[in-house]
Structure 1
């Protein structure tokens, strides 16, 4: 009898939680729709976002060198938002931006590149987005004394996570009889250093991400570069939330306030 009551209560609680989650998602989507309409009417495109980020720069004590974007399986984020984030990162002088789409949908070849940015494919499969120092009057800004600024844009997959570590370990196993590997096996830091260098080479010498934005209902890395994210600051943007230039700036402000001790 008590077992049946417990099951019934569990079903009721599950239904209530599901309804609350659905209402929360609907509220976020409605808020996002209102914010999107507000931005399109009052802010327009391009110049407002650039001016806003430029005003934020002096207030930030540090800016990430590598920003990674994780798109979870339950995310409703589209390629338009992801391409905007890359443009924001370029404006903020971030060197690398990587996208890890668990769904396998996002592709840089299909991304709409903003008018003030030029894009070209690199030999390593990444893209280089550049912005000339002296742009049109619509931007009304110059960067680094007229010098061109650029950001390297990459798309990561599950093969760049645990599968890549396994591949590197297989390569080292094949070289196990060499003097270098035999010496490294006697000293764990040396072996770690060899693995790290091998992973960096396979990832085209991309620096470790120091900041990441996760688009999902759950704070989960979904297998993003497990070897390289030991000191990464993760920020969650829940599904259905509106992502604007202000949202991006808030992430950078939070990152700027974080003290990364790196084990010290």
Structure 2
């Protein structure tokens, strides 16, 4: 193959324009156009074809107004249907909200312990079983709202602690996303003491301990005794996925330095380490919000946990607490081998 032919093919592949007029064979139309009489006949035929094409293309324009009106009608019908569906759903949601609020008011009247441990104990003794470990997710409301701010959060946490110790549950996990209770652990300890004295009397305040697993610290209600009736673990988002990431990095570094063998990393080892870093898995998790939101709760500790919340609820109420215990009492947990 000649170099000129190769260059020409290369240009064609590259998409460049190539002058091939000298080698091109003219099509039959080129010779046809040289005869004047034949040229006139050809022009007449092409003009007639163009006229017919223009007529056919102008035909839809006669229906443009009708198509435009149909489009407006379709748009109006679609918009009417969407607005109707929105109104129907809004009315249904409003009725559902009012119904849920009414049920919550009725439950608050039925389950009203009035800061009495004996009434709470009576409600619990009717149950077939109670959880050994209870967890609750708390949210700090805005400062301007009722029960808001840090003080409101500590008040909610102390109420749950009083209900828990009155029900005979030994372990409680309180989770708030930002770790406000951790940062104010001493003030929170005093808040629990004060609330327990209202329930049990100043001379019969149960002993408890506040545990911060992330810092490996424990604060006892009485420094002279480490035997407690209730152990409270304070968790935050730092104890969730970030702890799993930190543990994974630590195991990777130990494996790299030959201090840990790869075959030693098992699910049992992970479970043991996470239990030491965060704590044991709760049996029941309570959420005092309108819809379930785990807010970064440690995922490793929710494998067999039962959840309970009430739709459209926005307060920490005893009725939610006792209904959660009822739900746990009636549930059946199957653990695989």
Q: So what's the TM-score if we normalise by structure 2?
A: 0.57
Give aligned pairs, total.
Answer: 235
In proportion to residue count, which structure has more strand? 1
Contact 1:165 1:199 in 2 (8 A): yes
Task: Deviation per CA, 1:93-141: give whole Å up to 9, x if none.
Answer: 22221122246555553473211335555573455568xxxxxxxxxxx
Q: What does the per-residue CA deviation read over 1:121-170, in whole Å, with 9 as the maximum and x for residues that have no partner?
A: 5573455568xxxxxxxxxxxxxxxxx75111122111111111111111
Q: Which of 1 and 2 has greater Rg?
A: 2
Structure 2 residue runs of 5 or longer lacking an equivalent are 1-70
Question: Structure 1 pair 198/17, CA: closer, same or farther in 2 (3 Å)?
Answer: same
The answer on whether the counterparts of 1:32 and 1:241 sit within 8 Å (CA) in structure 2 is no
Give runs of aligned pairs for residues 68-217 of structure 1, distance below 5 A.
68-71=135-138, 78-79=152-153, 80-102=155-177, 108=185, 109-110=187-188, 112-113=191-192, 114=195, 115=197, 116=200, 117=205, 118=207, 121=210, 124-128=216-220, 150-177=229-256, 178=258, 180-184=260-264, 191-203=266-278, 206-217=279-290
Aligned to 2:293: 220
Report the secondary structure of 2:134's partner residue.
strand
Decide which moves more: 240-249 or 218-227: 240-249
RMSD, matched Cα: 3.8
Q: In 1, are the aligned partners of 2:210 and 2:231 still within 8 Å (CA)? A: no
5+ residue gaps in structure 1? Answer: 131-147, 185-189
Alpha-carbon separation, structure 2, partners of 1:214 and 1:122: 21
Match of 2:334 in 1: 261
Specify the alignment match of 1:140 in structure 2: none
Structure richer in helix, relative to its length: 2
1:240-251 aligned within 5 A:
240=313, 244-251=317-324
Change (3 A) 1:8 1:153: farther
CA distance in 2, matches of 1:194, 1:87: 35
Q: Contact conserved, 2:289 with 2:315, CA < 8 A, in 1? A: no
Query: Contact 1:72–1:102 (CA<8 Å) still a contact in 2?
Result: yes
